[in-house]
Structure 1
Amino acid sequence: MTVFILVSGVFTGPHVWDASAAALTGAGAEVHAVALTGLGGPGPGGGTDVDLETHIADVVAVIDAVGRADGREIVLVGHDYGVHPVLGAADRRAGSIARIICLDSGLPQDGVPALAAVPDQGVREQVLRAAGEGAREADAALPPPARDAWRLWGSTADVPDAALDRLTALASPQPLGTLLQPLELTGAAATVAMAGVLCTGNGASIAMVQARLDFGEPSLQALADPRVTFLELDTGHWPMLSDPAALAATLLRAAAGEGRRLTPRGATPAQPFLLDVPGTPRERHDNIDLYLPPGARGPLPAVVLVHGGPVPREARPTPRDWPALTGYARYAAAEGVVGVTLDHRLHSVADYGTAAGDVADAVGRVRADPRVDGDRIALWFFSGSGPLTADWMRRTPPWLRCLAAHYPVMAPLPNWGRLDSRFHPAEAVAHAGSLPLVLVRAGLETTAVAATVEEFMTAARTCGAAVEVVDVPNGHHDFETVDRTDESREAVQRAMRTVLRHLTA
């Protein structure tokens, strides 16, 4: 028999699992939803005596009470904040645990507090202020969110109104110590099999985790272990409320070891650009690379290609050397214009301001090059650089002849928290005027990213912005790499022709 021990996230108690627990029990599993101290369990809602170790002890107590007799296999499930006490308990009882399931959560690291995983920077600052002002007071706790503020903790997509009302009514203050105390791990749980269940409606996907693994992010390399599997749920951050039956079925699959395994970094060679383009040499200038047409004369228009992200600082090669971007740059050069790639510092969702400055500086230096026609520039943004388009739509300089967005993220994803309103393209598009906009849209985009594109398109239609759409009906995000089909090749060619038509008109 499989025994599920379920641990909920911030502000919540065992009640959130009711429907999924019933479905698991109906499938023959044994289920224990843990009542964490102060969150549906014994003890006060706050207080300096309630910290992460308190909650780890709560989970350990349930593990010890269940035992592992008669062939029962214990599976720990941690949702959101709940993964922190789950990992802490697994570290202390590794021999009793068959599997750990991280439900729409990150993978906490030794020495890092749960606060680091809170998606919204404003909330993190609120916690730090509260800690500074009253960490020694008996009621030191973060108040639960109002009904319309749960989205700052993750997407509430598909959650029925009644369930959201109940979530709000039963929410408890979160003791500050549970967010501020660093997680202490010995490494004992590294031998325990693990599964990640990602909620695509909240902005997570298996492809995104694989991409970050490929970037070389050190904290994720363990996820390529063959004992680690991944599954997806097409819903928001609260699947136990939005689709409890599907969650139960997915947890059963995860407990059985089903799911996709990630490819270790470097196991698959980087795919070359999907079109056969000339091997135009580059000129490297600080963080900018120029690809000039062979035998170019006189100042030429330029296409500046802006990579997505966030990209870890330690990622190698850096984005301007990615085959897709260098392929686009060489393709542009083959068509008689200057192709430009660059590296900018979008390393986290808090870095959009820094990245915007890097891009503006790079564009200024490109325009100043005597071989470039500074009055004919196209900017082409990819993926997570989509929010950076807002600056250029708001001020639309006369030399900007076209702005392209390629399978873009056009609004903050739900698991990002709040993003400065400066970087909301749907709000900026009303200022774009007659600036030609080109949007390359992947038909098989993830739910969360597709929603941001639709938000932008709705705003663009409302204000009558000049948006030309290049659709790739059977294309995924990053289709040049993952969908090496004739449809993808034709889409790349259409996109380049469209951008160059506006650039050279």
Structure 2
Amino acid sequence: MTVFIMVPGVFTGTHVWQETAARLTAAGAEAHPVALTGLDAARPADPSVTTDLETHIADVLAAVDAVGTDRDIVLVGHDYGIHPALGAADRRAERIARLVYLDCGMPRNGVPALAAVPDRTLRAQLAERSERGDVDGELTPPAGEEWRRWGSTAEVPGTALDRLSALAAPQPLRTLLQPLRLSGAVAAVPVTGVLCTGNGVSVDLVQRLVDFGDPTLTALAQPRVGFFELATGHWPMLSCPADLADVLLRAAAGEGRRLRPVGTDSSPAHLRPFPLDVPEVARDRKGQVDLYVPAGEPPRPAVIFVHGGPVPAGARPTPRDWPTLVGYARLAAAEGAVGVTLDHSLHDVADYERAAGDVADAVRAVRSDPRVDPERIALWFFSGGGLLTADWLAEPPAWLRCLAASYPVLAPLPNWGLTDSRFHPARAVARAGGLPLVLLRAGLETPEIAATVEAFVTAAQDCGARLELVDVPDGHHGFETLDPPEETRPALLHAMRSVIAHLES
């Protein structure tokens, strides 16, 4: 018989698992939600004893040790709960048949759970406290709509959200600030990742990250690792407990989608050819930018292509050498403009501030080049780089003649912790004035990103922005290299010629 040991996330107790546990039991398994010290009424904290991450690891170890050795243990960690679950699995690796990461990050040895806190402002505040040695106290739990700062509450019934708030407990700060210590034994334990797409993560996205070649992610493509998706927010035990129970049972049986290891496909999506035949134009590398300069008398207008992300820091080749971006730059050159690619520092969702600075620096460098007309510049953004449009929409300079975007993310996704940041194009577009906007919209975009695009389009229409929509009805996110060229060529050419026309007007 399989025994599921289920570890709750931040602020929560065993109550969140009740419905899922009941369904697992009905299916013939055992289910044991873990009461974490200080977070569950069943295990109150002793005021004379410090409650930290090690305390919660001990709580999980006690649950593991209570199971007979003839049972297969599937250890499930949700949200913060993956940290004590992983710590316990590392110390009882021989007892754990499978470790399930339920809509959470990938904790690393020596890194505290604070690194996974989605609220960037709160994370910075707690980091400052930790540096000062001020690690005692508790974090007040959220209530009502405040839960969204910790993950999408999509599809959670109002009554369940009310109960979540009513039963929430303060989180001891030391549980978030104490580094996780791992021996490495847990590396042998089979793993399943359950991704909640409503919270901004999908299996395809993880595959793309693996394809980038970052060595820290290659383990995700090992045969012992499987993945499932749930089309819901961050709290599947509240929004779809039956679906979650089914996925956990399938995970225990070893099912799940496997990722393609790096090197087994000679052409990962981001390295496939550009769908248009464009003339060869020599690259001129100037610091962080590459310029593709057309023949003819300078100065020429320029189109600066800003890649998406996050792209792992170890990805090789870097984005400015990807065939898609090089193809766009050469296409711009074929149309008479200087095409520009660049690398910026969007390696994590916490890096938007730094990436925005990189893009601004690149724009200054391009405008100062004598071959470029500094008063005729277009910016073209892709995918996760779409959030970087916010600064240019909010205060468009006179020399910015057009802003374009391909399958962009135009509002922060729920698990990015950027809700209150300036990187919110759907809000900034109201200040765009007469800036021409060209938006390539993928008809088969992922629902979470499509929602941000629609919010942007609605906001643009409401404020009378000069928005041109170029639809690719059967296009996916990254359609240039994923979809048949005959379906994408007309849209690419139309969009490019629209941008060039705005540069020449």
Normalising by the smaller structure, the TM-score range is: over 0.9
Q: CA RMSD for the aligned pairs?
A: 2.0
Q: Which runs of 5+ in 1 are unaligned?
A: none
2:213 alignment partner, one of 197, 200, 216? 216
- Partners of 2:310 and 2:81 lie apart in 1 by 25
For 1:280 and 1:255, the matched residues in 2 are separated by 54
- 1:283 is matched with which residue? 284
Q: Is the 8 A contact 1:131 1:176 kept in 2?
A: no
* Partner SS for 1:450: helix
Query: In 2 relative to 1, CA 47–436 (structure 1 residues): closer, same or farther, beyond 3 Å?
Result: farther
Residues 304 and 57 of structure 1: CA distance in aligned 2, closer, same or farther (over 3 Å): same
- The corresponding residue for 1:234 is 231
Cα distance between partner residues in 2 of 1:165 and 1:306 = 42
Aligned residue in 2 for 1:498: 498
Give the superposition deviation at 1:420.
Answer: 5.5
Q: Is the 8 A contact 2:75 2:96 kept in 1?
A: yes
Q: Deviations over 1:226-280 (max 9, x none)?
A: 1101111111111111111121122222222222212222332331212222222
Using the size of structure 2 for normalisation, the TM-score is: 0.94
One-letter code of the match for 1:104?
Answer: D
Matched, 1:200 2:197: yes
Distance 1:223 1:132 in 2: 32
1:155 corresponds, among 149, 152, 156, to 152
Report the equivalent of 1:329. Answer: 329
Corresponding residue for residue 261 of structure 2: 264
2:425 equivalent in structure 1? 425
Matching residue of 1:178 = 175
- d(CA) in 2 for partners of 1:25 and 1:492? 54
Identity over aligned pairs, percent: 66
- Tell whether 2:471 aligns with 1:474: no
- Between 359-368 and 74-83, the greater mean CA deviation after superposition: 359-368
2:135–2:174 Cα contact (<8 Å) kept: no
- Residues of 2 paired with 1:48 and 1:297: CA distance? 76
Opposite residue 81 of structure 1, the aligned amino acid is: Y
Greater mean deviation of Cα atoms: 99-108 or 366-375: 366-375
1:37 alignment counterpart: 37
State the SS of the aligned residue for 1:66: coil
Q: Counterpart amino acid of 1:35?
A: A
State the distance in 2 between where 1:277 and 1:132 align: 53
Answer with 485-494 or 26-35: which moved more: 485-494
In structure 2, runs of 5+ residues without a counterpart are none
Q: How does 1:451-470 map to 2 (within 5 A)?
A: 451-470=451-470
Task: Please list the CA deviations of residues 427-450 of structure 1 after superposition, one character each: whole Å capped at 9, or x if unmatched.
Answer: 211111121111112222223222
User: What amino acid sits opposite 1:356 in the alignment?
Assistant: A
The verdict on how the C-alpha distance between 1:83 and 1:479 changes in structure 2, with shifts beyond 3 A counting, is same
Q: Which residue of 2 aligns with 1:59?
A: 60
Deviations 1:85-106 (A, max 9, x none): 1111111111111111101011
Q: Aligned AA for 1:56?
A: I
Shift of 1:354: 2.2
Q: Distance in 2 between matches of 1:27 and 1:268?
A: 39
Separation (CA, whole Å) in 1 of partners of 2:475 and 2:310? 22
- Opposite residue 53 of structure 1, the aligned amino acid is E
Going from structure 1 to structure 2, the CA distance change for 1:25 and 1:376 (only over 3 Å counts) comes to same
Counterpart amino acid of residue 223 in structure 1: L
Of 232, 247, 250, the residue aligned with 2:247 is 250
Contact 2:292–2:340, Cα closer than 8 Å, also in 1: yes
Given that 1:46 and 1:176 are in contact with CA atoms closer than 8 Å, whether structure 2 keeps it comes out as no
> Which deviates further from its counterpart, 164-173 or 262-271?
262-271
The one-letter code sitting in structure 2 at the alignment partner of 1:460 is A
Q: 1:231 to 1:101 in 2, by over 3 A?
A: same
> Secondary structure in 2 aligned to 1:149?
helix
Amino acid at match of 1:361: D
Structure 1 residues 320-399: aligned runs within 5 Å: 320-399=320-399
TM-score where L is the length of structure 1 = 0.94
The answer as to whether partners of 1:47 and 1:141 remain within 8 angstroms in 2 is no
Distance in 1, matches of 2:377 and 2:128, equals 45
Tell me the equivalent position of 1:5: 5
Q: CA deviation at 1:395?
A: 2.0
When residues 45 and 145 of structure 1 are mapped into structure 2, their CA distance, relative to the original with a 3 A threshold, is farther
Aligned length, in residue pairs: 500
SS in 1 for 2:66: helix
Against the structure 1 CA distance between its residues 252 and 484, is the aligned structure 2 distance closer, same or farther, given a 3 Å change threshold? farther
